[in-house]
Amino acid sequence: MQQPDLRVLIPRQDIAAKVQEMGETLSRDYRGKEVLLVVVLRGAALFAADLCRCIEADVVIDFIAVSSYGSSTSSSGVVRFLKDLDESVESRHVLIVEDIVDTGLTLAYLMENLKSRHPQSLRTCTLLDKPSRRRVDLRPDYVGFTIDDLFVVGYGLDWDQRYRHLPDICIHSEK
């Protein structure tokens, strides 16, 4: 298989600085509260691992895994749960942690689903945002970097399950 070009878009030190900054904001916003981080597997796992260590509040971490039905999430907007939460959401302060928001369909679906479980509050946090691709009216509450319509890999993000381990966020040439 031919190797695609990978060009660094966001270097590791910029990611680290941004994650620290986001952690400080979250520490302020959730001061004195317990926050349940709902980490969307697999992509957000690396971001969440770094982010949670920058949050000074009571943090509980749980994981959720979703997949699209049929062809692709972005075309159908219908997702199914591969792994549901172990924690109850009811009456808790819930923060969904995503790696990237693209069309917004996955996050919109997750929000609807979690809302129906009656959290005390529900917010969304994403490291990367591609607003130009949005298909639903959704603005995440916390955004690390806003990027153009590029396919990126690294720091948890994959292309066909590869490149998640790269420490920098890179542009993948085969879009």
Q: Would you tell me how many other CB atoms lie within 10 Å of the CB of residue 105?
A: 22
Cα 33 versus chain centre, distance: 22
Cα angle: 143, vertex 110, 115; to 5 degrees: 100
Which of 44, 94 has the CB closer to ligand IMP? 44
User: Tokens 């890179």 belong to which residue?
Assistant: 170
CB of 18 to ligand IMP, least distance (A): 17
- Residues in contact with ligand IMP by CB under 6 A are 43, 73-74, 100-107, 151-153, 157
Known catalytic residue at 149: no
Which of 39, 94 has the CB closer to ligand IMP? 39
Residue type, 169: I
Catalytic residue among 99, 102, 129, 168: 102
CB of 101 to ligand IMP, least distance (A): 5
User: Tokens 């381990």 belong to which residue?
Assistant: 165
Distance CA 102, CA 20 (A): 23
CB of 32 to ligand IMP, least distance (A): 31
Which of 145, 151 has the CB closer to ligand IMP? 151
Positions annotated as catalytic residues are 102
